[in-house]
Chains A and B, each alone.
Chain A
Amino acid sequence: MTYAFRTSSAIMALGFGMFGLAPAALAQTVVDFTVAEYSSKTGPYFQEVASAFEAANPDIKINIQVVPWDTLLQRLTTDVAGGTAPDISIIGTRWLLDFADQGVAEPIDSYLTPEFKGTFIDTFMNPGIIDGKIMGLPVAASARAMMVNMDLYDAAGAAPPTTWDELYEASKKIAALPDTFAFGLQGKEIETDAYFYYSLWTHGGDILNADGTSGLNSPAAIESATLYKTMIDEGLTQPSPTNYNREDVFNLFKQGKVGTIFTFPMLVPQIKEEAPNLRYQILPFPEAGAKATYGVTDTLMMFADSDAKEAAWKFIEFAYGDANREKFDVGEGFLPVTKNVAALPYFNEDPDVAGFAAGLPYAKFAPVIANWEEIADVTVRTMQQIYLGEVTPEEGLAAAAAEVNKIRGL
C-alpha cells in the first residue's frame, strides 16, 4: 500500500463523512426510550419495532435502553434528578402519581386522537387518568387467577374449589399426600401484599375504605389474615412462608409439589417450557362473599422535559399497531390492552389466557395514591409478622391501619 493511496482513501473517507452521512445524522431526532425488561424477549422485540419504525422514518432514531424491573424506579429517579431523563419510558402504573405530582410526566391528551384513544380497552385506560388528565397509555396488562395442580387434586379426591371453605377442605386432603403442600403462600419480597389482597378482596374487603382511610382493620381483612395464619399453623401451606418469594412459590408449583397457587399469566409459558407434563387448570379466585381479581397495568409515559415529543408520539402510534401489539402480548403472555388484539381468536379460545381474562370485568387495581410503595411495605411487614406469629391478626392489622392512615395524613 503506497503512501499516496492511504492519504487519498483517508480524504475519501472524510468526504463521505462530511457529505454522505453527516447531514442525515444532524437532521435526525433521537428519541430515548427506556424499556422495562419483562423477559429475555422484551429487548429484541422493541429493537425490532424500532428498526421497522426507523426504516419508515429515516429522520427519527429510537434509542432503546432495556432496564430490569428491580432497578427501573431507581434508574428513572436518578435520571430525572440528574436531568438526563429519557423521552418516553415504561413504568409501573403505581408510580405514575408521583411522576405526575412532580411535573415529570407529560399529559398526553393533546396528542391522543379520538381514533387512537378508541383502540384501547377503557378498563386499562382508567388507571392512567389523574385529575382528569391522561398521563400515560397502558402498555401491558395482566390479571391474576388461581392455578391448581389437577394431578394432586385428583390424587386427593378433591374438586377444584370455588369458595374459600372448599379451598380449605380440599387443602386438608391434599396436605395428607406425601411430600406435598396444599397451598403455596408467598411470604417475602415483591407482591407479598398482593397475595393478601387476593384474599382480602374476595372476602369483601378493600385496601382503602370509601373515605380513603385504610381498610386493613376491617372484619374482612382480619378474617382473611386469620385464614392464612390458620392454614400455616395446620400445615396446609409450605413451611415457613416468610422464606418464600413469588418465584420460590411458583417453582414449588412447577415441581408439582403444591396443589394451589395464585399467579399471573406469565407463568403459563414458563410451565410449558419447564414442566410440560404438569396438568394444571386456571380458575377464578375462591370467593367468600365477593368476586375479585387483581388487575395490574404498566404505563407508557412521556417525560415533560422531553425535546422530542412529536417524534416520540409518532413512534408510540407506530408501536401500538395491531401486529406489533399482538406479537408483544402473545410473546410476553400479557392480556391485550387494545380492542382489536383482544378480539383475536387466541385471546378468546386459549383456555389459559381466557382463564385469566375472565376476571377482567370485576378486576381491582392498586389505588392510585401518594406513597403507595411505603403503604404496601407496611402491609408486607404486617403480614410477615402475622405469618411468623409475632402479632395476632387483630393487633397487627389495627396497627398497620393506623400507620397507613398516618402516612396518608388522615
Chain B
Amino acid sequence: MAKKAHISIPMLMVLPSLLLATGIIGYPILDLAWTSMQEVSRFGKLQGFVGWENFAEVFGDPLFYASLWRTGIWTGAVVAGTLLISMPVAMILNDDFYGRGLARVLVMLPWSISLTMTAVVWRWALNGRSGLLNATLMQMGVINEPIEWLAEASTAFTVEILVGILVSIPFTTTILLGGLSSMPQDAYEAAVVDGATGWHQFRYITLPLMKPFINIAIVLNVIYVFNSLPIIWVMTEGGPANGTDILVTYLYKLAFRFGQLGKASAISLIMFGVLLVFTLLYVVLLSRNEADAAPEDEVKGHDE
C-alpha cells in the first residue's frame, strides 16, 4: 500500500503535463487518422466512411512513390551536407581569433530571414536571363551561355538541395558550437602532451565527445528537412513535370489545389509514420550504443 502511494505521487505530478501533451499532439493525429478514412469534400466536410480507400489510392499512385523516393534523397542529402559543412564551421568559430564575434553573427544571420524569403531571393538569383548567379559566372568566365538552373528537374533539385543545406547551417552550427564550447580542455592538453596531431584530436577526442550533439542535430534536422515546404515550393512548385516534388509539396497540391483532402490526410499520416519510425529507430540505436560505450558522464541533449 505504501509502495503504491510512492509510485503514484510522481505519476500524479507528471499527469497534468502528460494529459496536455497527449491532447495537443494526440488529438490532431487521431483527427487526421479519422479524416484519412473518410471521403472528404473540398471544404473539409466529411462525406462518409470509406475505410482504406484513400490509402489504396495513395499506394496506387506512381507520383507518390516518386515523391517518397525524392523525399529520401532530399532529406539525406540536405542533412548530410549540412553536418559536413557545419562541423568545420563550428570548430573554426570555437577557436579564438580576432573578429570571432562578428563571424559568429554572420553565420547565424541567415537564420533570422524567413525560409520563404530566402527561397524567393534564390529564385531570382537563379533566373536564367536576369539572375545574379549566371551574371556572376559569366563575368568570371566560368560559363559562356546562361544556364537555366530551374528548367530541368535534375539541376533544379540539386540547386534546391544546396539551398536547403545553406539554410540549415546556422541552426546546426549553433547546436554544435554549444557542444564544442562545453568540451573539457584538459583532454586536449593531455593529448598534445602525448603528441596527438590535429586529426587525432578531432578523431579521438572531439568526435566521440560531440556524438550526443551530432545526434540531436541529425534527428532535429531530419524532422525539419523532411517536412520542409517553402524552398521547393517557392523555387519550382515541385515542377517541372513533378520532377522536384517531395511528399510535402505533393501533399500541399493535393489538399489545396485539387481539393482531395482525404488523400492528403492519408499521405500526411504516412509521413508522420515514417518520421515516427525513424525517430524511434534512431533513439533505440543510440541508447543501445550508449549502453555499450560510456555508461556515465554523458552530455545531456538527446533525451527529447
**B residues 96-129 with Cβ under 8 Å of A?**
127-129
CA distance A381 to B258 in the complex (A): 14
Contact B240 A373 (CB under 8 A): no
CB distance from B297 to the nearest CB of A (A): 51
Give the residue of A74, A80, A384 whose beta carbon is less than 8 angstroms from that of B239: A384
**A residues 362-393 with Cβ under 8 Å of B?**
371, 373-374, 377, 380-382, 384-385, 387-388, 390
Q: What residue in chain A is nearest B41 (Cβ atoms)?
A: A102
CB distance from B91 to the nearest CB of A (A): 39
Known A-B contacts A98-B259, A373-B258; the reply to A242 vs B239 at CB < 8 A is yes
Grouping DSSP codes into helix (H, G, I), strand (E, B) and loop, the B interface class, with mixed when no group exceeds half, is loop
30 pairs across A/B with beta carbons < 8 Å?
A73-B256, A74-B256, A77-B44, A81-B43, A81-B44, A98-B42, A102-B42, A102-B43, A102-B45, A104-B43, A187-B240, A189-B239, A240-B148, A240-B151, A240-B152, A241-B151, A242-B148, A242-B151, A243-B128, A243-B148, A243-B150, A374-B258, A377-B258, A380-B239, A381-B239, A381-B242, A384-B239, A387-B240, A388-B152, A390-B241
Range for the number of chain B residues in contact with chain A: 20 to 34
Given A77-B256, A188-B237, output 4 extra A-B contacts at Cβ < 8 Å: A240-B152, A374-B258, A384-B239, A384-B241
**A residues 143-195 with Cβ under 8 Å of B?**
187-189
Find the residue from B128, B151, B240 having the highest chain A CB count within 10 A.
Answer: B240
CA distance A340 to B69 in the complex (A): 58
Judge if A239 is at the interface, Cβ distance under 8 Å.
Answer: yes
Residues of A within 8 A of B (CB): 73-74, 77-78, 80-81, 98, 102, 104, 187-189, 238-243, 248, 251-252, 371, 373-374, 377, 380-382, 384-385, 387-388, 390
Give the residue of B42, B240, B260 whose beta carbon is less than 8 angstroms from that of A242: B240
CA distance A81 to B42 in the complex (A): 9
Judge if B302 is at the interface, Cβ distance under 8 Å.
Answer: no
Contact A77 B43 (CB under 8 A): yes
**B42 surroundings in chain A (CB, below 8 A):** 77, 98, 102
Residues of B within 8 A of A (CB): 41-45, 127-130, 148-152, 236-237, 239-242, 253, 256-260
Contact B128 A239 (CB under 8 A): yes
Find the residue from A80, A102, A104, A240 having the highest chain B CB count within 10 A.
Answer: A240
CB distance from A328 to the nearest CB of B (A): 28
Give the residue of A104, A243, A377, A388 whose beta carbon is less than 8 angstroms from that of B253: A377
**A73 surroundings in chain B (CB, below 8 A):** 256-257
Give the residue of B152, B241, B257, B259 whose beta carbon is less than 8 angstroms from that of A381: B241
CA distance A79 to B254 in the complex (A): 18
CB distance from A176 to the nearest CB of B (A): 18
Contact B258 A388 (CB under 8 A): no
CB distance from A372 to the nearest CB of B (A): 10
CB distance from B32 to the nearest CB of A (A): 14
Find the residue from B43, B148, B149 having the highest chain A CB count within 10 A.
Answer: B43
Contact A242 B152 (CB under 8 A): yes
Known A-B contacts A80-B43, A384-B240; the reply to A371 vs B151 at CB < 8 A is no
Known A-B contacts A81-B44, A373-B259; the reply to A388 vs B148 at CB < 8 A is no
**B240 surroundings in chain A (CB, below 8 A):** 187-188, 242, 384, 387-388
Contact B256 A371 (CB under 8 A): no
CB distance from B56 to the nearest CB of A (A): 14
**A240 surroundings in chain B (CB, below 8 A):** 128, 148, 151-152
CA distance A242 to B42 in the complex (A): 30
Q: What residue in chain B is nearest A383 (Cβ atoms)?
A: B241
Contact A371 B258 (CB under 8 A): yes
CA distance A165 to B26 in the complex (A): 63
Contact B256 A243 (CB under 8 A): no
CB distance from B182 to the nearest CB of A (A): 45
**B258 surroundings in chain A (CB, below 8 A):** 371, 373-374, 377
**A390 surroundings in chain B (CB, below 8 A):** 241
CB distance from A234 to the nearest CB of B (A): 17
Find the residue from A74, A243, A388 having the highest chain B CB count within 10 A.
Answer: A243
**B253 surroundings in chain A (CB, below 8 A):** 377
CB distance from A209 to the nearest CB of B (A): 23
CA distance A380 to B151 in the complex (A): 14
